[in-house]
Amino acid sequence: MKPGILWTTALLLTFGTSTSALAINPDHVKLLLATKACAGCDLRGASFEGMDLRGANLAGANLEDARLRSVNLEGANLAGATLERANLERARLRNVNFSNTTLRRTNLARADLERATLQGARLVDANLPGANLRRADLRSADLRDVVLLDANLERANLERANLDGADLRRANLSNANLRRANTRGVRTDGANLSGADLSNTDLARDRDRSDGDWRWDDRRTNDGDWHWDDGRSSDSRNRVRLEFISETRDNVRVEIVGNSTRQTLSFSGNQTRRSLDVPPGNYELRFIEGGRNRVWRSGSLDTGRASRLAVIFNQSAQRVEIEDPSRTGSR
Protein backbone atom coordinates (compact mmCIF):
# COMPACT_ATOMS: atom_id res chain seq x y z
CA MET A 1 0.00 0.00 0.00
CA LYS A 2 1.29 3.48 -0.85
CA PRO A 3 2.27 5.64 2.14
CA GLY A 4 -0.33 8.31 1.32
CA ILE A 5 -3.14 5.76 1.19
CA LEU A 6 -1.95 4.13 4.40
CA TRP A 7 -1.92 7.53 6.15
CA THR A 8 -5.46 8.31 5.00
CA THR A 9 -6.72 4.90 6.08
CA ALA A 10 -5.13 5.29 9.50
CA LEU A 11 -6.74 8.71 9.84
CA LEU A 12 -10.15 7.30 8.98
CA LEU A 13 -9.70 4.44 11.42
CA THR A 14 -8.86 6.94 14.14
CA PHE A 15 -12.02 8.84 13.39
CA GLY A 16 -14.00 5.63 13.25
CA THR A 17 -13.22 4.74 16.84
CA SER A 18 -15.10 7.82 18.06
CA THR A 19 -17.83 8.20 15.44
CA SER A 20 -20.65 7.40 17.80
CA ALA A 21 -19.53 10.00 20.33
CA LEU A 22 -18.68 12.84 17.93
CA ALA A 23 -20.94 12.01 14.98
CA ILE A 24 -18.01 12.26 12.54
CA ASN A 25 -18.87 11.17 9.02
CA PRO A 26 -15.83 9.23 7.68
CA ASP A 27 -17.05 9.59 4.10
CA HIS A 28 -17.08 13.36 4.46
CA VAL A 29 -13.57 13.33 5.93
CA LYS A 30 -12.35 11.23 3.02
CA LEU A 31 -14.05 13.53 0.51
CA LEU A 32 -12.41 16.63 1.99
CA LEU A 33 -8.95 15.10 2.01
CA ALA A 34 -9.30 13.84 -1.54
CA THR A 35 -10.89 16.88 -3.17
CA LYS A 36 -10.74 19.81 -0.72
CA ALA A 37 -14.42 20.27 -1.52
CA CYS A 38 -16.89 19.39 1.21
CA ALA A 39 -19.61 22.04 1.30
CA GLY A 40 -22.26 21.22 3.89
CA CYS A 41 -20.28 18.26 5.25
CA ASP A 42 -20.57 16.91 8.78
CA LEU A 43 -17.06 17.17 10.25
CA ARG A 44 -17.91 17.59 13.92
CA GLY A 45 -14.98 16.69 16.16
CA ALA A 46 -12.68 15.86 13.24
CA SER A 47 -8.95 16.52 13.49
CA PHE A 48 -7.06 18.29 10.71
CA GLU A 49 -4.25 19.74 12.83
CA GLY A 50 -1.32 21.05 10.80
CA MET A 51 -2.82 19.98 7.46
CA ASP A 52 -2.71 21.89 4.19
CA LEU A 53 -6.30 22.67 3.22
CA ARG A 54 -5.63 25.85 1.27
CA GLY A 55 -8.53 26.91 -0.91
CA ALA A 56 -10.88 24.25 0.48
CA ASN A 57 -14.62 24.69 -0.01
CA LEU A 58 -16.28 24.12 3.37
CA ALA A 59 -19.22 26.47 2.94
CA GLY A 60 -22.00 25.51 5.33
CA ALA A 61 -19.96 22.66 6.83
CA ASN A 62 -20.34 21.65 10.48
CA LEU A 63 -16.96 21.76 12.22
CA GLU A 64 -18.12 22.00 15.82
CA ASP A 65 -15.38 20.92 18.25
CA ALA A 66 -13.02 20.30 15.32
CA ARG A 67 -9.28 20.24 16.02
CA LEU A 68 -7.68 22.60 13.54
CA ARG A 69 -4.59 23.81 15.35
CA SER A 70 -1.96 25.19 12.93
CA VAL A 71 -4.07 24.16 9.91
CA ASN A 72 -3.48 26.05 6.66
CA LEU A 73 -6.84 27.18 5.28
CA GLU A 74 -5.65 30.24 3.37
CA GLY A 75 -8.17 31.31 0.76
CA ALA A 76 -10.73 28.72 1.90
CA ASN A 77 -14.50 29.22 1.77
CA LEU A 78 -16.17 28.70 5.16
CA ALA A 79 -19.14 30.98 4.58
CA GLY A 80 -22.09 29.93 6.70
CA ALA A 81 -20.10 27.16 8.37
CA THR A 82 -20.31 26.25 12.07
CA LEU A 83 -17.04 26.16 14.03
CA GLU A 84 -18.39 26.49 17.55
CA ARG A 85 -15.76 25.48 20.14
CA ALA A 86 -13.29 24.55 17.38
CA ASN A 87 -9.57 24.94 18.09
CA LEU A 88 -7.90 27.10 15.44
CA GLU A 89 -4.92 28.21 17.49
CA ARG A 90 -2.10 29.47 15.25
CA ALA A 91 -4.14 28.57 12.15
CA ARG A 92 -3.26 30.22 8.83
CA LEU A 93 -6.51 31.86 7.75
CA ARG A 94 -5.53 34.68 5.42
CA ASN A 95 -8.22 35.66 2.92
CA VAL A 96 -10.63 33.04 4.30
CA ASN A 97 -14.34 33.68 3.75
CA PHE A 98 -16.04 33.43 7.16
CA SER A 99 -19.14 35.42 6.13
CA ASN A 100 -22.08 34.61 8.44
CA THR A 101 -20.02 31.82 10.04
CA THR A 102 -20.63 30.71 13.64
CA LEU A 103 -17.40 30.91 15.66
CA ARG A 104 -18.89 31.03 19.12
CA ARG A 105 -16.35 30.11 21.84
CA THR A 106 -13.81 29.26 19.14
CA ASN A 107 -10.10 29.38 20.01
CA LEU A 108 -8.29 31.59 17.48
CA ALA A 109 -5.33 32.54 19.66
CA ARG A 110 -2.44 33.83 17.54
CA ALA A 111 -4.27 32.87 14.34
CA ASP A 112 -3.43 34.77 11.14
CA LEU A 113 -6.67 36.26 9.78
CA GLU A 114 -5.20 39.03 7.67
CA ARG A 115 -7.71 40.21 5.04
CA ALA A 116 -10.17 37.53 6.14
CA THR A 117 -13.87 38.21 5.54
CA LEU A 118 -15.90 37.89 8.75
CA GLN A 119 -18.85 40.04 7.76
CA GLY A 120 -21.86 39.03 9.85
CA ALA A 121 -19.87 36.30 11.61
CA ARG A 122 -20.86 35.29 15.15
CA LEU A 123 -17.81 35.25 17.44
CA VAL A 124 -19.47 35.59 20.85
CA ASP A 125 -17.01 34.56 23.61
CA ALA A 126 -14.34 33.71 21.01
CA ASN A 127 -10.69 33.76 22.09
CA LEU A 128 -8.34 35.75 19.81
CA PRO A 129 -5.39 37.00 21.91
CA GLY A 130 -2.47 37.93 19.70
CA ALA A 131 -4.45 37.23 16.52
CA ASN A 132 -3.63 39.08 13.31
CA LEU A 133 -6.77 40.70 11.85
CA ARG A 134 -5.04 43.35 9.79
CA ARG A 135 -7.41 44.64 7.09
CA ALA A 136 -10.01 42.03 8.08
CA ASP A 137 -13.65 42.69 7.19
CA LEU A 138 -15.68 42.48 10.41
CA ARG A 139 -18.65 44.57 9.38
CA SER A 140 -21.75 43.74 11.45
CA ALA A 141 -19.88 40.89 13.17
CA ASP A 142 -21.11 39.79 16.61
CA LEU A 143 -18.04 40.20 18.84
CA ARG A 144 -19.70 40.31 22.24
CA ASP A 145 -17.32 39.39 25.08
CA VAL A 146 -14.62 38.42 22.59
CA VAL A 147 -10.99 38.46 23.79
CA LEU A 148 -8.76 40.47 21.43
CA LEU A 149 -5.96 41.16 23.88
CA ASP A 150 -2.79 42.23 21.99
CA ALA A 151 -4.53 41.55 18.66
CA ASN A 152 -3.62 43.42 15.48
CA LEU A 153 -6.68 45.11 13.95
CA GLU A 154 -4.83 47.70 11.92
CA ARG A 155 -7.11 49.05 9.17
CA ALA A 156 -9.76 46.45 10.04
CA ASN A 157 -13.35 47.29 9.11
CA LEU A 158 -15.55 47.00 12.22
CA GLU A 159 -18.42 49.16 11.01
CA ARG A 160 -21.63 48.29 12.89
CA ALA A 161 -19.87 45.43 14.71
CA ASN A 162 -21.19 44.52 18.17
CA LEU A 163 -18.21 44.77 20.53
CA ASP A 164 -20.21 44.86 23.76
CA GLY A 165 -17.92 43.72 26.58
CA ALA A 166 -14.98 42.94 24.26
CA ASP A 167 -11.43 42.92 25.64
CA LEU A 168 -9.28 45.11 23.37
CA ARG A 169 -6.50 45.84 25.83
CA ARG A 170 -3.22 46.61 24.07
CA ALA A 171 -4.84 45.87 20.70
CA ASN A 172 -3.64 47.74 17.62
CA LEU A 173 -6.67 49.52 16.14
CA SER A 174 -4.74 52.14 14.22
CA ASN A 175 -6.70 53.43 11.24
CA ALA A 176 -9.50 50.93 11.94
CA ASN A 177 -13.08 51.74 10.97
CA LEU A 178 -15.44 51.53 13.98
CA ARG A 179 -18.22 53.71 12.63
CA ARG A 180 -21.55 52.95 14.31
CA ALA A 181 -20.03 50.01 16.20
CA ASN A 182 -21.42 49.09 19.62
CA THR A 183 -18.44 49.64 21.93
CA ARG A 184 -20.32 49.67 25.22
CA GLY A 185 -18.27 48.09 27.99
CA VAL A 186 -15.20 47.65 25.77
CA ARG A 187 -11.82 47.53 27.54
CA THR A 188 -9.23 49.51 25.61
CA ASP A 189 -6.44 50.02 28.18
CA GLY A 190 -3.20 50.48 26.26
CA ALA A 191 -4.91 50.07 22.87
CA ASN A 192 -3.63 52.03 19.89
CA LEU A 193 -6.55 54.00 18.43
CA SER A 194 -4.51 56.46 16.38
CA GLY A 195 -6.32 57.33 13.20
CA ALA A 196 -9.30 55.11 14.07
CA ASP A 197 -12.75 56.29 12.96
CA LEU A 198 -14.93 56.29 16.10
CA SER A 199 -17.87 58.14 14.56
CA ASN A 200 -21.20 57.42 16.24
CA THR A 201 -19.80 54.90 18.71
CA ASP A 202 -20.33 54.42 22.43
CA LEU A 203 -16.57 54.50 23.01
CA ALA A 204 -16.59 58.28 23.34
CA ARG A 205 -19.33 58.23 25.94
CA ASP A 206 -17.67 55.38 27.83
CA ARG A 207 -14.63 57.61 28.27
CA ASP A 208 -16.53 60.65 29.55
CA ARG A 209 -15.41 61.85 32.92
CA SER A 210 -18.06 61.48 35.62
CA ASP A 211 -18.19 65.26 36.19
CA GLY A 212 -18.97 65.85 32.52
CA ASP A 213 -16.01 68.18 31.97
CA TRP A 214 -14.02 66.21 29.46
CA ARG A 215 -15.07 63.99 26.63
CA TRP A 216 -13.78 62.42 23.45
CA ASP A 217 -15.23 63.78 20.24
CA ASP A 218 -14.90 62.81 16.60
CA ARG A 219 -12.83 65.76 15.46
CA ARG A 220 -9.46 64.49 14.29
CA THR A 221 -6.12 66.17 14.79
CA ASN A 222 -3.25 66.01 12.33
CA ASP A 223 -1.78 63.23 14.45
CA GLY A 224 -5.14 61.50 14.47
CA ASP A 225 -5.29 60.47 18.09
CA TRP A 226 -7.65 62.40 20.33
CA HIS A 227 -9.27 65.74 21.05
CA TRP A 228 -10.15 66.91 24.54
CA ASP A 229 -12.90 69.54 24.71
CA ASP A 230 -14.94 70.73 27.70
CA GLY A 231 -17.68 72.08 25.43
CA ARG A 232 -17.31 75.63 26.71
CA SER A 233 -15.85 78.60 24.87
CA SER A 234 -12.68 80.25 26.12
CA ASP A 235 -12.97 83.53 28.00
CA SER A 236 -10.61 86.45 28.45
CA ARG A 237 -8.45 85.00 31.24
CA ASN A 238 -4.76 85.68 30.83
CA ARG A 239 -3.24 82.30 31.75
CA VAL A 240 -4.12 78.64 32.33
CA ARG A 241 -1.84 76.47 34.43
CA LEU A 242 -1.18 73.06 32.86
CA GLU A 243 0.17 70.55 35.37
CA PHE A 244 1.74 67.51 33.71
CA ILE A 245 1.98 64.42 35.91
CA SER A 246 3.74 61.21 34.88
CA GLU A 247 2.48 58.08 36.65
CA THR A 248 5.72 56.25 35.82
CA ARG A 249 9.43 57.03 36.00
CA ASP A 250 9.86 56.54 32.25
CA ASN A 251 11.86 58.93 30.11
CA VAL A 252 9.18 61.03 28.38
CA ARG A 253 9.11 64.36 26.55
CA VAL A 254 5.90 66.34 26.13
CA GLU A 255 5.63 68.92 23.36
CA ILE A 256 3.02 71.69 23.72
CA VAL A 257 2.28 73.75 20.60
CA GLY A 258 -0.34 76.48 20.03
CA ASN A 259 -1.24 80.14 20.63
CA SER A 260 2.33 81.29 19.91
CA THR A 261 3.53 78.74 22.47
CA ARG A 262 6.04 75.99 21.75
CA GLN A 263 7.42 74.23 24.81
CA THR A 264 9.01 70.87 25.58
CA LEU A 265 8.87 69.36 29.07
CA SER A 266 11.09 66.41 30.02
CA PHE A 267 10.28 63.71 32.57
CA SER A 268 12.49 60.93 33.95
CA GLY A 269 13.35 59.27 37.25
CA ASN A 270 12.13 61.42 40.15
CA GLN A 271 11.12 64.26 37.82
CA THR A 272 7.47 63.26 37.37
CA ARG A 273 5.67 66.63 37.73
CA ARG A 274 6.08 69.80 35.65
CA SER A 275 3.91 72.91 35.25
CA LEU A 276 3.43 75.39 32.45
CA ASP A 277 1.34 78.60 32.28
CA VAL A 278 -0.25 79.22 28.87
CA PRO A 279 -2.96 81.48 27.39
CA PRO A 280 -6.41 79.83 27.14
CA GLY A 281 -7.15 78.13 23.83
CA ASN A 282 -6.33 75.04 21.78
CA TYR A 283 -3.04 73.17 22.01
CA GLU A 284 -1.49 70.21 20.27
CA LEU A 285 0.20 67.80 22.70
CA ARG A 286 2.71 65.12 21.71
CA PHE A 287 4.01 62.49 24.14
CA ILE A 288 7.40 61.15 23.06
CA GLU A 289 9.29 58.14 24.37
CA GLY A 290 12.64 59.66 25.25
CA GLY A 291 15.00 56.82 24.41
CA ARG A 292 13.49 56.03 21.01
CA ASN A 293 12.02 59.41 20.02
CA ARG A 294 8.76 57.60 19.28
CA VAL A 295 5.46 59.50 19.55
CA TRP A 296 3.19 57.19 21.54
CA ARG A 297 0.27 59.57 22.02
CA SER A 298 -0.81 62.86 20.47
CA GLY A 299 -3.88 65.01 20.31
CA SER A 300 -5.60 68.35 20.85
CA LEU A 301 -6.45 70.01 24.17
CA ASP A 302 -9.05 72.80 24.48
CA THR A 303 -8.61 74.59 27.82
CA GLY A 304 -12.16 76.02 27.80
CA ARG A 305 -12.85 78.12 30.91
CA ALA A 306 -10.55 76.20 33.22
CA SER A 307 -7.90 78.11 35.15
CA ARG A 308 -5.94 74.97 35.94
CA LEU A 309 -5.77 71.55 34.27
CA ALA A 310 -3.93 68.37 35.20
CA VAL A 311 -2.61 66.25 32.34
CA ILE A 312 -1.95 62.78 33.76
CA PHE A 313 -0.11 60.34 31.51
CA ASN A 314 1.19 56.80 31.73
CA GLN A 315 3.63 55.70 29.05
CA SER A 316 3.45 52.01 30.02
CA ALA A 317 -0.34 51.96 29.60
CA GLN A 318 -0.23 54.42 26.64
CA ARG A 319 -2.85 56.49 28.47
CA VAL A 320 -3.52 60.24 28.80
CA GLU A 321 -6.22 61.75 31.04
CA ILE A 322 -7.27 65.34 31.66
CA GLU A 323 -8.62 66.60 34.99
CA ASP A 324 -9.79 69.95 36.32
CA PRO A 325 -8.42 69.86 39.91
CA SER A 326 -10.90 72.53 41.02
CA ARG A 327 -13.71 70.06 40.26
CA THR A 328 -12.13 66.66 40.90
CA GLY A 329 -9.90 67.56 43.83
CA SER A 330 -6.20 68.38 43.84
CA ARG A 331 -3.80 65.58 43.01
Q: Domains in the chain, ordered, with CATH?
A: 221-328 (2.60.40.1120)
In this predicted structure, the answer to whether residue 206 has a pLDDT above a threshold of 60 is: no
Q: CA 186, CA 201: separation in Å to the nearest integer?
A: 11
The mean per-residue pLDDT over the stretch 65-80 comes to 97
Q: How far is CA 275 from CA 43, 89, 142, 164, in A?
A: 65, 49, 46, 39
The mean per-residue pLDDT over the stretch 244-249 comes to 91
In this predicted structure, the answer to whether residue 92 has a pLDDT above a threshold of 80 is: yes
How confident is the model at residue 172, as a pLDDT? 95
**Rounded to the nearest 5 degrees, what angle is found at the Cα of 193, between the Cα atoms of 192 and 198?**
160
In this predicted structure, the answer to whether residue 85 has a pLDDT above a threshold of 70 is: yes
In this predicted structure, the answer to whether residue 331 has a pLDDT above a threshold of 60 is: no
How confident is the model at residue 325, as a pLDDT? 67
Instruction: Out of 4-13, 100-109, 241-250, 322-331, pick the least confident.
Output: 4-13
Mean pLDDT rounded to a whole number for the chain: 82
C-beta of residue 71 within 8 angstroms of C-beta of residue 50 = yes
Q: CA 229, CA 137: separation in Å to the nearest integer?
A: 32
pLDDT-derived band at 49, boundaries 50, 70, 90: very high
How confident is the model at residue 204, as a pLDDT? 53
How confident is the model at residue 230, as a pLDDT? 42
Q: How far is CA 210 from CA 99, 203, 206, 215, in A?
A: 39, 14, 10, 10
In this predicted structure, the answer to whether residue 217 has a pLDDT above a threshold of 70 is: no
Task: For residue range 270-280, list pLDDT tens digits in order.
Answer: 888 998 888 88
Task: For residue range 126-176, list pLDDT tens digits in order.
Answer: 999 999 999 999 999 999 999 999 999 999 999 999 999 899 999 999 999
The mean per-residue pLDDT over the stretch 235-254 comes to 82
Whole-model pTM: value is 0.59
Higher pLDDT, 104 or 319: 104
How confident is the model at residue 322, as a pLDDT? 86
Cα 238 to chain centroid distance, Å, stands at 42
